[in-house]
Amino acid sequence: MSVLPATSETIAAAGERLRAGGLVAFPTETVYGLGADATNGRAVAAIYTAKGRPRFNPLIVHVADLDSARALAVFCPRAERIAAAFWPGAVTLVLPRRTEATVADLVTAGLETIAVRVPAHRLALALLAATGRPLAAPSANRSGRISPTTAAHVASDLGERVDVILDGGPCAIGVESAIVDLSGDRPALLRPGGIAGGAIETVLGERLDRMVKVDPQRPVAPGQLESHYAPAARVRLQASVAFPGEGLLAFGSDEPAHGGPVVNLSPGGDLAEAAANLFGALRRLDATGVAGIAVVAIPSEGLGEAINDRLLRAAAPRPQ
């Protein structure tokens, strides 16, 4: 594995590796992706091996532009509106897959729908151009771990399991894309993410159905949420203080006093800054060796919905 600063030469070389069936981790504006040629079933299979994913979850297909997305998926008027408003950007659309779409069946896990997105990061777009193929890319972490927002996170998680890591610095948004399912009668937000659900609703002029109601005030029933995005430390939400042995994940100016490790996601109370810092902050607190992480209440508006979704999953009961 080599971590390479992203330059026109390293991007061209990474494109060659992808065309030859290799795995390349690359920055997007949300999180780092673990990319493979979406038209090559063996390359896509290697993603699952590298991540240690137990099941074949369908993957997001990244494309260079709207026309490339239209070649893979059937666009409805709602899809056109969202793409016009937010692409390139942090929203993924789940749409009916075109029968003639050239992606490997493993990418869609045999579904009749496909998840597509045009990323906004200039290096992701340069890599797509260099490869000339759609790229299947889940977040570049091992299954169940926190999504990576720096090249160093990718290297520590995947190491030799990936051929090349393109280093483009920290990701600006820091949480994964919002996923909107437009394949049914009603539009549904499958995953809150880097574009706020409310902003998408404004563009659509209608409400999105939500799969998981993210209400940090209400306890989550065990089993309601799959454990995911999990640090090693136990995560405790809605904390007004941190106990000895815990790290504190704070937000805003009203930070509880704590003798142990503290990371404030945004002392100024900015939810976009908090989203960008979230996964790195969980990793930093985890690296101190604390047994638990106490997380203060974070407002659920705007990007707060995505932040609270990830925190709920980090706090959900773990398998075993």
- Positions in the binding site for ligand TXA (CB under 6 A): 28, 30-31, 33, 57-60, 92, 94, 108, 111, 113-115, 119, 137-139, 176-177, 179, 190
Nearest Cα to Cα of residue 191 among 306, 307, 61:
306
Query: CB within 8 A of 314, min separation 6: which ones?
Result: 146, 228, 229, 230, 231, 235, 282
Task: Tell me how far apart the alpha carbons of residues 250 and 266 are, in angstroms, rounded to a whole number.
Answer: 8
**At closest approach, how far in Å is the CB of 229 from Mg ion?**
8
**At closest approach, how far in Å is the CB of 31 from ligand TXA?**
5
Task: Tell me how far apart the alpha carbons of residues 201 and 204 are, in angstroms, rounded to a whole number.
Answer: 5
Cβ nearer to ligand TXA, comparing 167 with 176: 176
Tell me: does residue 177 bind Mg ion (CB under 5 A).
no
The interface partner of residue 192, options being ligand TXA, Mg ion, none and the CB cut-off 5 to 8 Å by kind, is none
Query: Angle at the Cα of 215 (from 298 to 306), degrees rounded to 5?
Result: 60
Of 10, 28, 92, 139, the one binding Mg ion (CB under 5 A) is 139
**At closest approach, how far in Å is the CB of 65 from ligand TXA?**
16
Sign of the dihedral through C-alpha 309, 306, 187, 38: negative
The interface partner of residue 58, options being Mg ion, ligand TXA, none and the CB cut-off 5 to 8 Å by kind, is ligand TXA
Cβ nearer to Mg ion, comparing 139 with 300: 139
Contact 73, 111 (CB under 8 A): no
Cα distances (angstroms) measured from residue 164 to each of 5, 59, 176, 265:
10, 20, 21, 30
Tell me: does residue 183 bind Mg ion (CB under 5 A).
no
Task: Tell me how far apart the alpha carbons of residues 18 and 25 are, in angstroms, rounded to a whole number.
Answer: 10
Cβ nearer to ligand TXA, comparing 28 with 264: 28
Q: Which stretch binds Mg ion (CB under 5 A): 139-147, 148-156, 184-192, 261-269?
A: 139-147
Cβ nearer to ligand TXA, comparing 18 with 239: 18
Cβ nearer to ligand TXA, comparing 138 with 304: 138
What is the contact mask toward Mg ion in residues 93 to 132, using x (rule: CB under 5 A)?
A: ----------------------------------------
Nearest Cα to Cα of residue 161 among 8, 25, 292:
25
* Burial letters 231-257, b for 16+ CB under 10 A, else e: bebebebebeebeeebbbbbbbeeeee
Name the CA dihedral angle for 263, 276, 303, 287, rounded to a multiple of 10 degrees. -40
Q: Nearest-CB residue to Mg ion?
A: 139
Tell me: does residue 30 bind Mg ion (CB under 5 A).
no
**At closest approach, how far in Å is the CB of 28 from ligand TXA?**
5
Backbone angles phi, psi at 165, to 5 degrees: -115, 115
Cβ nearer to ligand TXA, comparing 86 with 292: 86
Tell me: does residue 266 bind Mg ion (CB under 5 A).
no
What DSSP character marks residue 99?
T
Tell me: does residue 149 bind Mg ion (CB under 5 A).
no
What are 156's two structure tokens?
Answer: 């520590």
Quickly tell me which residue has 């029933």 as its tokens.
221
Number of chain residues interacting with Mg ion (CB under 5 A): 1
What is the contact mask toward Mg ion in residues 203 to 222, using x (rule: CB under 5 A)?
A: --------------------
DSSP bridge pairs for 11: none
The interface partner of residue 190, options being Mg ion, ligand TXA, none and the CB cut-off 5 to 8 Å by kind, is ligand TXA
Per CB under 5 A, residues contacting Mg ion are 139
